Structure 1
């Protein structure tokens, strides 16, 4: 797992323009999965059922993970809509994002180059308006220890901004915490060293 953070959309963005009487509307939204990306595409298609084309592309995870990319020309000539849209998204460095570009045809053909410029350009303008936030990649750890180690564990958790997720108190303390993935090794080493390995740390696999 790559522990480095990446940017994601904070809120949707819309950009509209008219090119040779064709009306283009570009929608950008935060979509953290392929399912949510496809759902957003369908939502825009329903909203603009009367449009000639609803072309789209998505990056449904980390910007560099091409396994989570998708695109469609939706009836436009092959390579003139979906790929230019995707190129803008992947070039932006923003992840978990879907772009849908709706086109109401105005009766004037734009040609292959014109279409590429229109679809890619609309997304480029929308991306300039987009407000993003940093997504921190977290890992889950399970800690088990005797009650006497509680102050030590709480102190180290506070130093590295580790958040308690679940806790079970019986003859020992058994807690699950979420931590910035970049800090896992540092936190694990510190807690084992300072407790003399009396605190056990188990990494939980992401489901």
Structure 2
């Protein structure tokens, strides 16, 4: 499962026949995060006429979770064109929200479709994309003497120690790419072991 995702949030602005379109793109991992950004922008631009959006969670080539909303614009003229841009560019784990201030000149259905697609494309053009890497969390049990060596091995595979608990043994919580778990396990040797704790999986 490899696809492109957004490295960090970006924004772009377009003015079309006196209407202002402000497009925002955010990296997201689920629908709740996506809707949080929509609500934030509603609060930031309470006087805007429309807050239209589309998101793709997961692999854009085979997604089971995509959504869009026209937010009062004529059916099919806002959310769907934004989603089409995302699907065409094959970008996953992302939401684009376009805030529109109406300038007094009606654009018509075709004009609106082009405006929202153009806004989405404008924000895509300033994105820095990065390959999506599925991440996972593992726990490593070790003793005090080996903790610093294990931290070094975790860094070696691009992982990060996110939490540590000390009792009779040391347990390190580690976030790393799924594809690196076997490599890390092998490199641990006798220094420590990965605990298979299925209750912690989401």
Whether TM exceeds 0.5 here: the answer is yes
Runs of 5+ consecutive residues of structure 1 not aligned to the other structure: none
Runs of 5+ consecutive residues of structure 2 not aligned to the other structure: none
1:202 and 2:195 equivalent? yes
TM-score (norm 1): 0.75
Alpha-carbon distance between aligned partners in 1 of 2:148 and 2:37, rounded to the nearest angstrom: 47
1:17 alignment counterpart: 15
- 89, 96, 99: which one aligns with 2:97: 99
Alpha-carbon distance between aligned partners in 1 of 2:169 and 2:106, rounded to the nearest angstrom: 74
Partner secondary structure for residue 186 of structure 2? helix
Alpha-carbon distance between aligned partners in 1 of 2:18 and 2:147, rounded to the nearest angstrom: 65
Deviations 1:108-132 (A, max 9, x none): 442x333222211121122112344
Alpha-carbon distance between aligned partners in 2 of 1:151 and 1:125, rounded to the nearest angstrom: 46
List 4+ stretches of structure 1 deviating above 4 A: 60-65, 132-136, 146-152
Partner secondary structure for residue 66 of structure 1? coil
Q: Is the 8 A contact 2:185 2:194 kept in 1?
A: yes
Larger Rg: 1
TM-score (norm 2): 0.76
Deviation at 1:142, TM superposition (A): 1.4
- 169, 172, 194: which one aligns with 1:172: 169
Q: What RMSD in Å do the two structures reach over aligned CA positions?
A: 3.1
Deviations 1:72-109 (A, max 9, x none): 12223322211111111233325332322415153444
